[in-house]
Amino acid sequence: MRVLIVEDDAVLGEAISQRMLKQGHGVDLVTSGADANDILRHQEYDLVILDLNLPGMNGEKVLNKLRVRQTNTPVLILTARNQVEDRIQLLDLGADDYLTKPFDFGEFDARCRALLRRHQGQAQNSIRYGNLTLDRKTCRVYVDQALVDLKQREFRLLEIFISHTGWVLSKDDLIDHLYNFDEPPSPNAIELYVARLRKKLQASDIEIRTLRGLGYILEEFNE
């Protein structure tokens, strides 16, 4: 999934960025509210991690402008404020969740997963489609309870497909979800990952079908 991290603390921002990159997400990191607002006007994200105390434009203004544009991207606020009134104000402003600094990274991961599930209309970490099961918490995939060995980016690509069943996803759609600004993919990267997924999921009863000139669609088939 594509994630925007807005954090002016260089150490914390880099720690969050590296953690999410290791999980296979596409990650962009900015350190000012003005930069975040500019990016969010032109680029869609699956999740925004937003600090409040930012130079140029504070987090509340970034969040307010995002919601005024009627963008429903889930936003997790990172804040040092721990008063109930502050948390109520943030939620009323349009935040989906918040974490008080300092926080545990295990809880951070769980809250991110919960926001992504909610945004995609899913209640559980485990998603079943045909005889395939994808577990977001463990980043594992099973076909008929047999573990399928997927690399992180292969897992994330499958997660995108299975979260958009019935949708035709173009190469540009997939690139927007998988890659950050500093990591432009090679022209045939998506074809390569799709080919690898098809090969590894041969025992499943789902297929990634190519629609020439349009993109790809994930479908369940019965023999």
Tens digits of per-residue pLDDT, 118-163? Answer: 877 665 778 888 899 999 888 899 999 899 999 988 998 999 999 8
pLDDT band at 223 (very low <50, low <70, confident <90, very high): very low
pLDDT band at 221 (very low <50, low <70, confident <90, very high): confident
Output the pLDDT for position 81. 77
Rounded distance, CA 194 to CA 217, Å? 11
Output the pLDDT for position 28. 94
Rounded distance, CA 205 to CA 197, Å? 13
- Provide the CA 43 distance to its chain's centre, in angstroms: 13
Output the pLDDT for position 7. 95
Mean of pLDDT over the chain: 89
> Do the Cβ atoms of 48 and 76 come closer than 8 Å?
yes
Rounded distance, CA 60 to CA 137, Å? 30
- Provide the CA 153 distance to its chain's centre, in angstroms: 12
Q: Using alpha carbons only, what angle is made at residue 194 by residues 188 and 199, rounded to the nearest 5 degrees?
A: 125
Rounded distance, CA 159 to CA 177, Å? 10
Q: What is the β-pairing status of strands 47-51 and 75-79? A: parallel
> Do the Cβ atoms of 4 and 181 come closer than 8 Å?
no
Output the pLDDT for position 86. 79
Rounded distance, CA 160 to CA 177, Å? 8
> Do the Cβ atoms of 27 and 3 come closer than 8 Å?
yes
Output the pLDDT for position 123. 58
Q: What is the β-pairing status of strands 2-6 and 47-51? A: parallel
Tens digits of per-residue pLDDT, 57-111? Answer: 999 999 999 999 988 899 999 988 777 787 788 888 889 999 988 999 999 999 9
Output the pLDDT for position 222. 60
Output the pLDDT for position 91. 84
Q: Can you give the residue ranges of every domain in the chain?
A: 2-119, 126-220
What amino acid occupies position 104?
A: D
Residue 135: both structure tokens together: 């577990």
> Do the Cβ atoms of 64 and 86 come closer than 8 Å?
no
Tell me the pTM: 0.76
Buried b (16+ CB within 10 A) or exposed e, 32-55: ebebbbebbeeeebbbbbbbbebe
Rounded distance, CA 20 to CA 5, Å? 10
* Tokens 């690898």, residue located: 196
Tens digits of per-residue pLDDT, 178-218? Answer: 888 777 777 688 899 999 999 999 999 999 999 988 999 99
Taking the CA atoms of 106, 177, 183 and 55 in sequence, report the sign of the dihedral they define: negative
Whether residue 173 is predicted with pLDDT greater than 80 in this model: the reply is: yes
Is the CATH number of domain 126-220 1.10.1200.10?
no
Tens digits of per-residue pLDDT, 40-51? Answer: 998 889 999 999
Architecture of the domain spanning 2-119: 3-Layer(aba) Sandwich (3.40)
